A = this chain, B = another copy of it.
Amino acid sequence: MNLEVLNGLLKPKSIAVVGASATPGKIGYTVVKNLLDSGYEGPIYPINPKRDEILGLKAYPSVLDVPGPIDAAVIVIPARYVVQVAEECGKKGVKGLIVIASGFSEVGRHDLEDALVSTARRYGMRVLGPNIVGVLSNSDKCNASFAPILPLPGKASLVSQSGALLIAMDTATYTRRVGFDKLISIGNMSDVNFADMVEWLSQDENTACISLYIEGLKDGRRFIEVSRKTAKPIIALKSGVSAHGAAAAASHTGSLAGSGKVYEAAFQQAGVVHASDLNNLFDRTLALSLQPPMKGENLLIITNGGGVGVLATDAAERYGIPLRFAPEDVQAELKKHMPEFGSAKNPADLTGMAGREWYEESVEHTFGHPWVDALTVLYCETAMTDPMEIAKAIKAAVDRSGVTDKPITVSFVGGERSERAMQWLVEHGIPAYGAPDVAVNAIAALREYALTHEAGQGEFHPYADVDEAAARAIVAKVRAEGREMTEIEAKGIFKAYGLPVAQTILATTEEEAVKLAAQIGYPVVMKIVSPDILHKSDAGGVKVNVKNADEVRAAYNEILANARAYKPEADIHGVAIQEMAPRATEVILGSINDPTFGPTVMFGLGGIFVEVLKDVTFRVAPVNEAMAAQMLTDIKGAPILAGVRGEKPRDRAALAEVLSRYSQMITDLGDEIAESDANPVIVYEEGQGVKVVDARIILKTK
C-alpha cells in the first residue's frame, strides 16, 4: 500500500472543514475551533455556502472554490450530502476524507457508505470513517475532531473503534498520566482499517507504541501480517468477547471458538500484546511506550515493605513471570543496602528504614547485573521519607547503571506526595503505578511482547508433496452431485495432503466387503457411507471389532438395513471397510473458516477434554510445525501428551506435522472448505506416529 496517501489523512498540510459552522455547540463549529486552538499551522478552509467567514477564517461555498490545494477534508454534513461532497473533493484533488458524519452502515445505510467509498476510490482518495470523532495529533498540532483537547503528549498512538471512548480517553490521558501523540477514531472502517493504521503508525517517527481499542477487525489476515512486520509494540483491548455471539455459532468447533478465542490466537500470532480491560490498556501502553522488552525470565523486585513485596510476588506468578531467588552475588550486593533484618532474596526487602541512598545503590548495582532481566521497584510512603527523593534516586540509579535494554517499572503506594513523585517518574521515562501488582503486570506486558516475537512464529513453508489437484477433484465431484461429502471422500482429501488416515475402502457388495476386510486385515471397522447420513452411529451404521468373514457379512447387511430404516430416502454409497487402529491417546483436530481471519485450525484432546472442559486452542492457518508444537503445549491437558503416570510420551513430533499439514489443507482449500474435523486422531508413543480414524469436511455453500 502507498502509505503516502494516508499522510493526507493523518499528517495533512491543509484542511478543509465541510460543514463548518459559526454556531457554537455545532460539530462544524467545534472542529474549526479545535483546529485553531490546537495551533494547527497549515491553512484551514471552512466550507459553508452561507458564510463568508467563520471564526475569523475566510469561508468558501465549496471545496472547488478554495484557491490552494487541500490534503484532508473533514466532513461534518448530513449523510445524504456526503457523496456529492466526496465527488467535489475528488475533483479538487483532496487526498483524504475524514468523515465525521454519521448515518451510514451503522444505521443500515450501506448504500450511502458504498457510494462514498466508490466515489473516493475513483479519485484515489482514502476515507477515514464515516461515523468518527476525527484525528488528533500532538506532533502535528492538529485537533481535527470534536474531542475537546489534544491528549497529554506522549509516545503512544491510539486507534479506537469507539468514538465515545476516544473522547473520554482523551481527557483521561491527563488524569491517568499516560501520554499519546495521536488519537485516531476509525469508526465504520469503510475504507481505512486497523491494518492500514498499524502499517502507517509503524513508520511514524512520533509513535513508539501502537495502542488499539478493537470491537471487530475487517481483513484479519492482513492485520496479522502487518502487525508481525512492525518493529513497534502493539497492544490491543478487544471488546465483545462474552458468550452472546458464540451461542449463535452453528458448529462444534465454531461454538468452541466463541468470539474471543480466535482473536486471542490471532493476536498471539500477530505479536499483539493483550489488554484485559480499560485500565490495563492505559497501564500497559505506558510501559510499552517507555520501556524496552523484557528479554529474559528474571524479574527482581526491590521494596521497602514486606506486604507490597508479597503482593508483587503473587502478581508475578499470576502474570506468568514467577520470581526466583537472586544469585549469591546479587544478594551480597543487596545486603549492603539494608539492615540486618532485611531480606536480600527476591523480593529484596530494604525495610521501612530505606531512604534514598539504599534505593539508589540497590537499583544501580542490580540493574546492571547480567542475571537481572527486569526490575520492579516498590515503595510504601512513610512519614520519614520523601517520595520525590526516592523517585529521583531511582531515576539517577537507572541513568548511572547505563542500562537501556532492560525494563524497569515502579509502584508507589501512598497519597498526594507519592502521586506527584510518580508523575515525575513518568515524565522522566519510568512507568509508575499506584499498586504493586500493576507495576508487575506492566513488566509482564514487556515480557509478553518479547515472547510473541521469540516463539517459533516464522514463515510457513508449504509441504511440496501434497496433491491439491486430487483434493479439488474430489470437491468438484461432490459439488457436481450437489450433496454432502462422505467420510471416504473427506479421507481422500486428507490423504492428498499427506495425512495418515486409517485405511478405509468402500465396499458396494457383501462379497467386496469380505474381500476388502481380508485385504486390510482383521479386525476391521465397518461404517455406512451415505452423503445423507452424517451421524453414522445414530443410524446404527457403525460396527467395530468385526473379526472374520462371517461377521463381515452379518455386519454388512445389518448396517444397510439399519440405514434404510433410519432414512429410507438416503442415497447409500455402500459400506466402508476400515482398518481398526489400536487404542491410544485420542485428540481432535478441527477447522472453521472464521469470518474475520479465514481458515483457522483447532486442536484439543479427545473426549471430556473437549466436551466437558472446552480445553482447546486455535491458530489462524497455516501453522508451521514449531507453531503446531506450541499448540500442543497450550492446552491444560498437555501433560497427557508428555506422558503421565509413568506412561511414555506420545509422538508429538508426528502430531505437529499432522497439524501443520492439516492447516495447509484448510488454507489451500479455503475457498471450498467451510468446516472440517478429524475426530478422533489417535496418537501413539514417540516414534509410533499418528492415525486419523475419522474425517469430515463440510463445504462452503456457493
Contacts and interface: CB of A to CB of B under 8 A. Distances in A.
A517 B170 CA distance: 81
A175 to B, nearest CB: 5
A244 interface: yes
Interface string A305-345: 11110110111111000110000000000000000010000
Contact of A305 (B168, B380, B413): B168
Given A413-B172, A435-B279, A239 B613 contact: no
A437 B242 CA distance: 13
Contacts of A305: 162, 164-165, 168
- Size range of the interface on A? 35 or more
B148 A383 contact: yes
Contacts of A611: 644-645
A612 B642 CA distance: 11
A362 interface: no
A250 interface: no
Given A163-B352, A243-B317, A313-B242, A172 B645 contact: no
A168 B645 contact: no
Nearest to A164: B305
A242 B322 contact: yes
B383 A30 contact: yes
A458 interface: no
A214 to B, nearest CB: 10
A137 interface: no
Given A383-B167, A613-B613, A311 B175 contact: no
Most chain B beta-carbon neighbours within 10 Å: one of A213, A308, A310, A318: A310
B174 A416 contact: yes
B613 A242 contact: no
A304 interface: yes
Contacts of A380: 164-165, 167-168
A418 interface: yes
A240 B317 CA distance: 11
A476 interface: no
Interface stretch (A64-72, A590-598, A633-641): A633-641
A567 interface: no
Nearest to A307: B162
B436 A171 contact: no
Nearest to A215: B310
A667 to B, nearest CB: 30
A32 to B, nearest CB: 14
A277 interface: yes
A417 B148 CA distance: 12
A438 B242 CA distance: 16
Interface string A415-430: 1111100000000000
A608 interface: yes
A241 interface: yes
Given A277-B437, A381-B167, A175 B239 contact: no
Most chain B CB atoms below 10 A, which of A170, A244, A380? A380
Contact of A162 (B148, B170, B306, B316): B306
A619 to B, nearest CB: 23
A521 interface: no
A414 interface: yes
Nearest to A163: B352
A25 B384 contact: yes
Contacts of A540: none
B612 A244 contact: no
Contacts of A438: 277, 279
Interface string A143-183: 00011100000000000111111011111111110000000
A637 B614 CA distance: 11
A382 interface: yes
Contacts of A231: none
A164 B304 contact: yes
Contacts of A640: 608, 612
A322 B239 contact: no
A307 B241 contact: no
Nearest to A311: B239
Contacts of A636: 612-613
Most buried by B among A168, A173, A637: A168
Interface in A616-670: 636-637, 639-640, 644-645
A60 to B, nearest CB: 26
A480 interface: no
Contacts of A644: 608, 611-612
A278 interface: yes
A242 to B, nearest CB: 4
A107 interface: yes
A434 interface: yes
B308 A165 contact: yes
Contacts of A307: 160-162, 164-165, 213, 215, 239
Contacts of A316: 242
A640 B313 CA distance: 35
B277 A311 contact: yes
Nearest to A170: B415
A310 B146 contact: no
A539 to B, nearest CB: 16
19 contacts: A25-B384, A164-B304, A164-B305, A164-B307, A164-B352, A165-B308, A167-B381, A168-B414, A171-B417, A172-B418, A172-B434, A173-B415, A240-B314, A242-B318, A277-B438, A278-B437, A608-B637, A612-B636, A613-B613
Given A174-B416, A277-B437, 4 more contacts: A161-B307, A164-B304, A172-B434, A242-B317
10 shortest A-B CB distances, which residue pairs?
A: A171-B415, A162-B307, A164-B305, A168-B413, A165-B307, A168-B380, A242-B317, A164-B380, A239-B310, A277-B437
